[in-house]
């Protein structure tokens, strides 16, 4: 997503949010093929 040595002062918040969305929307084997978004929401539901 960002090459090694990237100066993040030169990266916009929009670019970072885009990558964040891509990563957190990707299903993970370690989460039982849930996305991080889904796993977090399930965890929060259990805590309330």
**Rounded Cα–Cα distance for residues 8 and 42 (Å):** 32
pTM: 0.76
Per domain, the residue ranges of the chain are 23-47
What integer pLDDT is reported at residue 48 of this predicted model?
Answer: 75
pLDDT in tens, 1-48: 999 999 999 999 999 999 999 999 999 999 999 999 999 999 999 887
**Rounded Cα–Cα distance for residues 4 and 43 (Å):** 33
């Amino acid at each position: 997503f960002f090459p090694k040595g990237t100066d993040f002062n030169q990266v916009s918040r929009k670019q970072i949010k885009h990558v964040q969305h891509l990563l957190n929307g990707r299903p993970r084997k370690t989460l039982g093929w849930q996305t991080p978004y889904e796993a977090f929401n399930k965890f929060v539901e259990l805590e309330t």
